[in-house]
Structure 1
């Protein structure tokens, strides 16, 4: 008996072990997703999520997300329930071994479902489609976006390149966004709903190329204003949302090499580099010597011998050399992310990245300038050819830490970037048809940006209808230009073909000139402190869901800009000695033995306007009500109030001139957004709003800067006023099925006091100054069309066509500035500065189950004004004195081919950019034809960039 009992126990234990082994062998996975309100699109916290026929369950957190891990492989039914909403059961939810199943859900709280307590049943596939529709269709404003899945299929390495794919958007220099043809002054940038600082000293622009595309969850461009968005939104607000809580541990590395047809493996020139240059760190030799007097006043009182002694403290950095063959550019990135379930049932998430890039590029440029048209077509003032060598290195880091528990979430989000540009321009050409010139520019430019945001969300009551959200942020921008060096050698054009007559350095005998033989040092430092507090309350009026949201905010920024302008003077009296020294190559010209009171030394030619201090203090609040007016009509109405104080202190050359700025503006900015649901797949939208566009510090400061590249002197205008804009938008949108879209939009904008950049009347090619002015009024009107659909529409039985997706968006825009005769030397009516009359983006993407993906994209923008000229009216007709400069249209074609390898853990990508090898052309439209004609227009500048190719490899552990 005892032996039989022992045998039974052994058999039972063996059976249990076999069952356990079988279960273990099946593996496990997890299901994750987000639950949203079908009518408002807002996420719902506290929803109970059950895995039917098991003991497993969970609930949505404060962000509306749920995560249920440790599910055995198989198919399940999930049930979602919450008080006031219809219960929903979803079948055929398949869990695969070591994989994540995503399932987003929409719940309905309409009156019928609540009273009847109907249990709605559906399948996994259908519900996923329905959730996507809800997300796309329930946006309270007119918006366009791009998701992480689409980003993966583009050739884009950073956010700046991704933004080119969004409807109505184009990008300048691969990093500055233009929306609906409007330049960056009319656009707002946000990262995870927090305003981003400007990364540029001279413009309101964020350099989106510093955010890696692989960390983006989605990008949404809101093209109409709502009260909770910044008031300086006219073209659009770009909100880049980075990934927050990773669904699983993420470890990813990627490396890439790339080349350019006119740069890679070709001779490359520039100043000597240090090891630190390859990590965004400038060479200490470029710093202004610590012993150099702190201001011009204390320097000009010195005698020649003392000035020569100070000059000897400078390193001789005027030389350049051949740095070998240009190497392929490199980029590397490391990403780590994970989520941790804590003992108190809280959840901690971290995601971070480190990015490194360096590149060398060379462009071939033609740069001309012309005398007045009274001297005839193509009456050249200057004709130059530039070889422009650029070395760039940058390091960047992004780190997000988030904690969530029950009804509370807090996050700390940080982004840091440091970059170094070392540029060298080697220029040759003719000036005024009298002298041959060889000029060089050597430039060091180091930029640093830090942006940190601490934000939180808290559901304040048991019914989860009251939410408190807040954020505190700090940003620092530092823009350092140490030791920008300019030097020219000249000889008379009569000796053009006589090599026995050498070029001589153009070092002035009298007053120093930074353009001829000069140095420029500048440093800009800006600190921005901001905070916001928002409260929202869910309402149910007349049986329909609404949300009331109110908030207050503050932003304080302080900018300090300091510059020193220096130039060498020539005090050599002996004729032969003078000729001998001026014929020295530039790396020997300013050697220590040539610095003396009777040879060469530096003079300080800084003027009082070369420094300024600016303060911008923004305070305000908003209130908005959003929700359903009826079952078909949704409305969002709000009012935003912004009080802005701008102060700027700049020195003046004359005691009679006051360059200081002290303005206070209070703006009441109403907004209305209406969405009418024509049917379950179609919306009709209408929007009205008032917005503003403010002048930047650099535009207000009477700071004068000579731009070696263009030959222009740029000067700010302290009298600039902010621009006020009224906006009207209408849009029809149709979502035929998952991931497919057709939309048509129309918009109109009326601008009061738009800010324009123009050449100051009376300027000549020899002395050309640019500034800013307010036009009395302007308008912009246009339309947009967007389509995204697979080609299976032509043959539903073709897998190939189903795997091909076509996308296109096009904008047609008309703008007009009206000076109303108040500026007689400017053309009374013309297009808005920087406004493109059309934008076109098209793409074809292919994705197969075998891991192959490819895409081809085409982008083109219409011509736009680059520099506004001047003239006068003769018998009612405007005659140019210096004609407006236009940027000609440019077509871009890019291609990518990618393949998943190593069990889909790795990916190999090949990219080709600027396949058409199109060049940028800036010209004066002399024949008024509206397009560039080489025979009848004047070419100001053309730049050839070459074709780009790259190969990258990424691996996810």
Structure 2
């Protein structure tokens, strides 16, 4: 998105802030309200048109298309609620307490009438009993095997973004602090949606969504579906991550948050970087890093069509400030402003809701001693990372009668500017006595704009629903002027010579731009029918169109003079104005037709499913999803009529989910489904990118096929009390043509590419428990303490393809699959919930990072123990909260090594450490206040 568009968007949001503040009666409220949803206690389906009244008064409300009701303008005190709905037993709920200026949440369950007798039977319950019962129903009645986390649990954790939150979900872990791994399956086997429409890949070199760009305070809830149903996208094997952001709030509010963080190995330490602009702190480059509009074309440079004067002018138009600036790393900063407003309109009490938020984060972190000691390499690197994240959310919803229209907008921008200083030996080029000093300046700008228009309507008298969704997303991923320079000394005491007499990707200046547009739409229709008992028929169609343009240029200054003393200049003057003006540098470019590609894909789908309640205990959800997928990818070298990569697949994806209610508190579930995993654009594109962090070239494979997966699951779940659970699950997955990253080391330089394995399977077990500790003692201390843990054991086996390539490993575990995953936590509250304590622990087993090749076996990531905590204390009549948080306080190293048959593998040279580093422990202090 262009800067001018972003400025307009932010200006519009600020205007909306002012309007919302003016329109909101946020202060001096003397009345309160009761609101919630009315749901079927056996299916958790919302009931449209149910009447909710204050007993003994004329004050009442009818539920809307979401089953939502609201009783406003109530004086403080206790009330009794009466709920009625045709064909269901009426219910009264007593002891519902209303406080001034606050909303009392109350979800209500209704049971179907067992007879058609005219005499009415009224079920009685208290507020506490009904709250517990509603939570039971929602937990037990999910259609598929799934796990999730609510905004309340998010608020109680130190998590700042969605990737942190996902670490708490059973069977889920996070790779590289932003990519989700579900059931041990790597990010490429998972998919995600935001507010009902699919999320794109945010990465230029992998199929993955960077979950760290969605701030946690904007999330309403997250659900990970681990089994497929026909109404879900069929492109996943591990999990379908569904993120819902907030739309109509329960009450008006303004929340302001401010926080600062300290990193034990970065903050106030020497922080090195390239040049810095003031706009960097706001997430935008000011344009000085980008190529000027009249910069010479690739043809002009490669064919030497520039005059010496034009060459000098072109070089001078580049930003040649290679100074290494040294400052003190500042504490991390985090600012948030969120406004929520709900307004009832007309006698029917239609609701218009607004949720608007701005977020800002900035951090400066150092990984001081990254070690790479394998094959010919013996390097130690200092990595300095400057990160800015700015985000805006603007959600609007209007609920009228039995209809609801929602418009949700999200913009987020990530600005990561990294400087790396590397020293050490490369035996392949410098010999045992040679030494290197390597400088890398690398800026990555990522932007995501997403807008979503959704409608939900009741049609007819049978509680049937029509839902539709239109979505648009724009993803940008730019690397403006990634610069790399190496100095080499032939022996101790000898000068360091800049390696700029020839151009290679290891020392080139990269200018790349990725722009992707995604258009999506879907329609779902839900109709209650009498077939095999009470059933719901759901049918729908969806379509998605993706279009990506990518272009990269590898430019460089090549020294052309006989005076070699200039090559001994320090990095700050190596490309100084005097030497450039003297004409000592040529402008060169590495040109390859695969450096530019454009791609498009169409995914069209239709489905039909039936949700049948066969009797009081047995429920079955089954159906078929059909997906048609077409992909064309063309690089510049390819004939215009013949795409380099082409996929044309028609997939029939059946699924069945069975739930048997063993008791009122326990379920047994079983499911089968077929899903797929399709190649990502980057995995197909033959573009070769040198990754200086991995010391390898990353390149796509145009002949990849899509993966098909057969999935089977079993689960027992028990709910001892509201908000508590014990479950045991088992699963099995069989892959055909699994897509995996692999190390191709047949040549002198290492290439990381992708391939389809011959066959693969995964199976595993999961155990989850959440329980208060009141079974130890009935005292208040143990009642206010809840323990949480989930543990999974996973096993997999991959057989490498018979493609004529001799590899060290014939079979191995699936890439990214952990043999075990542990998440555990302990929460405690005191002083009527004013004081809260939360301790969280995560560990995952050793897993493959890259699959091995002919010379090197697989790269394995070693386990790490991750310990987080948060202490919160509410102040100022519970409107404010102070939080002290710590994340990754053990600060154990990330360790990646070459291993074969469980033992370190050293083929030659110096060792088996692929990478070894840590980012430090973070401690933060924040204050949030709600008006």
Instruction: Choose the corresponding residue for 1:861, options 825, 844, 847.
Output: 844
Instruction: Choose the corresponding residue for 1:333, options 323, 333, 336.
Output: 336
Residue 466 (structure 1) aligns with: 464
Residue 946 (structure 1) aligns with: 920
2:367 counterpart of 1:386? no
Which TM-score applies when normalising by structure 2? Answer: 0.93
2:759 counterpart of 1:777? yes
Instruction: Choose the corresponding residue for 1:505, options 498, 501, 507.
Output: 498
Contact 1:308 1:596 in 2 (8 A): no
Contact 1:202 1:696 in 2 (8 A): no
2:798 counterpart of 1:817? yes
Q: Deviation at 1:466?
A: 1.5
Q: Name the CA distance, whole Å, in 2 between partners of 1:314 and 1:639.
A: 58
Q: Name the CA distance, whole Å, in 1 between partners of 2:418 and 2:396.
A: 37
Q: Deviation at 1:218?
A: 1.5
288-297 vs 686-695, greater mean Cα deviation: 288-297
Q: Deviation at 1:834?
A: 1.3
Instruction: Indicate the SS of the match to 1:882.
Output: coil
Residue 769 (structure 2) aligns with: 787
Contact 1:317 1:587 in 2 (8 A): no
Contact 1:264 1:326 in 2 (8 A): yes
Return the index of the structure with the highest Cα Rg.
Answer: 1
Instruction: Indicate the SS of the match to 1:955.
Output: strand
Q: Name the CA distance, whole Å, in 2 between partners of 1:256 and 1:264.
A: 15
Residue 451 (structure 1) aligns with: 450
Residue 843 (structure 1) aligns with: 825
Instruction: Choose the corresponding residue for 1:641, options 601, 607, 626.
Output: 626
Contact 1:292 1:310 in 2 (8 A): no
Aligned ranges 1:133-282 → 2 under 5 Å: 133-282=136-285
Instruction: Indicate the SS of the match to 2:514.
Output: strand
Contact 2:381 2:422 in 1 (8 A): yes
2:614 counterpart of 1:629? yes
Q: Name the CA distance, whole Å, in 1 between partners of 2:268 and 2:192.
A: 38
Residue 355 (structure 2) aligns with: 351
1:824-860 residue CA offsets vs partner (Å, 9 max, x unmatched): 4232211001111111000011112150001111100
Q: Deviation at 1:658?
A: 7.9
Q: Deviation at 1:595?
A: 2.3
Instruction: Indicate the SS of the match to 1:285.
Output: coil
Instruction: Indicate the SS of the match to 2:536.
Output: strand
Q: Name the CA distance, whole Å, in 2 between partners of 1:611 and 1:941.
A: 30
Q: Deviation at 1:249?
A: 0.7
Q: Name the CA distance, whole Å, in 2 between partners of 1:554 and 1:733.
A: 35
Aligned ranges 1:404-483 → 2 under 5 Å: 404-432=399-427, 433-463=432-462, 465-483=463-481
Q: Name the CA distance, whole Å, in 1 between partners of 2:903 and 2:497.
A: 43
Instruction: Indicate the SS of the match to 1:595.
Output: helix
Q: Name the CA distance, whole Å, in 1 between partners of 2:464 and 2:528.
A: 6
Contact 1:40 1:627 in 2 (8 A): no
Q: Deviation at 1:140?
A: 0.5
Q: Deviation at 1:99?
A: 2.2
Q: Name the CA distance, whole Å, in 2 between partners of 1:180 and 1:142.
A: 13
Q: Name the CA distance, whole Å, in 1 between partners of 2:632 and 2:347.
A: 50
Instruction: Indicate the SS of the match to 1:284.
Output: coil
Instruction: Indicate the SS of the match to 2:167.
Output: helix
- C-alpha spacing 1:247/1:294, structure 2 compared with 1 (3 Å): same
Aligned ranges 1:440-839 → 2 under 5 Å: 440-463=439-462, 465-493=463-491, 496=492, 498=493, 501-508=494-501, 511-516=502-507, 518-541=508-531, 544-573=533-562, 577-579=563-565, 581-595=566-580, 599-652=584-637, 660-764=644-748, 767-796=749-778, 798-819=779-800, 821-826=802-807, 827-839=809-821
Instruction: Indicate the SS of the match to 1:161.
Output: helix
Q: Name the CA distance, whole Å, in 1 between partners of 2:46 and 2:757.
A: 45
Contact 1:365 1:941 in 2 (8 A): no
Q: Name the CA distance, whole Å, in 1 between partners of 2:388 and 2:116.
A: 59
- C-alpha spacing 1:822/1:115, structure 2 compared with 1 (3 Å): farther
Q: Name the CA distance, whole Å, in 2 between partners of 1:613 and 1:545.
A: 50
Q: Deviation at 1:75?
A: 2.0
Q: Deviation at 1:913?
A: 1.4
**Structure 1: which 5+ residue stretches go unaligned?**
1-24, 372-380, 872-880
- C-alpha spacing 1:833/1:823, structure 2 compared with 1 (3 Å): farther
Q: Name the CA distance, whole Å, in 2 between partners of 1:936 and 1:745.
A: 44
Residue 13 (structure 1) aligns with: none
Contact 1:841 1:857 in 2 (8 A): yes
Q: Name the CA distance, whole Å, in 1 between partners of 2:879 and 2:324.
A: 44
- C-alpha spacing 1:202/1:73, structure 2 compared with 1 (3 Å): same
Contact 2:373 2:910 in 1 (8 A): no
Q: Name the CA distance, whole Å, in 1 between partners of 2:335 and 2:481.
A: 30
Which TM-score applies when normalising by structure 1? Answer: 0.91
590-599 vs 211-220, greater mean Cα deviation: 590-599
Instruction: Choose the corresponding residue for 1:62, options 45, 54, 65.
Output: 65
Contact 1:318 1:586 in 2 (8 A): no
Q: Name the CA distance, whole Å, in 2 between partners of 1:936 and 1:601.
A: 37
Instruction: Choose the corresponding residue for 2:370, options 366, 369, 388.
Output: 366
Q: Deviation at 1:227?
A: 0.4
Instruction: Choose the corresponding residue for 2:55, options 52, 56, 59.
Output: 52
Instruction: Indicate the SS of the match to 2:465.
Output: strand
Q: Name the CA distance, whole Å, in 1 between partners of 2:900 and 2:917.
A: 20
Q: Name the CA distance, whole Å, in 2 between partners of 1:632 and 1:33.
A: 27
**Structure 2: which 5+ residue stretches go unaligned?**
1-27
2:925 counterpart of 1:955? no
Q: Name the CA distance, whole Å, in 1 between partners of 2:316 and 2:251.
A: 57
Q: Deviation at 1:226?
A: 0.4
Contact 1:299 1:307 in 2 (8 A): no
Q: Deviation at 1:936?
A: 12
1:275-311 residue CA offsets vs partner (Å, 9 max, x unmatched): 1111011132211122222333664242562563354
Instruction: Indicate the SS of the match to 2:789.
Output: strand
Residue 921 (structure 1) aligns with: 895
Q: Name the CA distance, whole Å, in 1 between partners of 2:297 and 2:345.
A: 56
CA RMSD after TM alignment:
2.1
564-573 vs 737-746, greater mean Cα deviation: 564-573
Contact 1:524 1:561 in 2 (8 A): yes
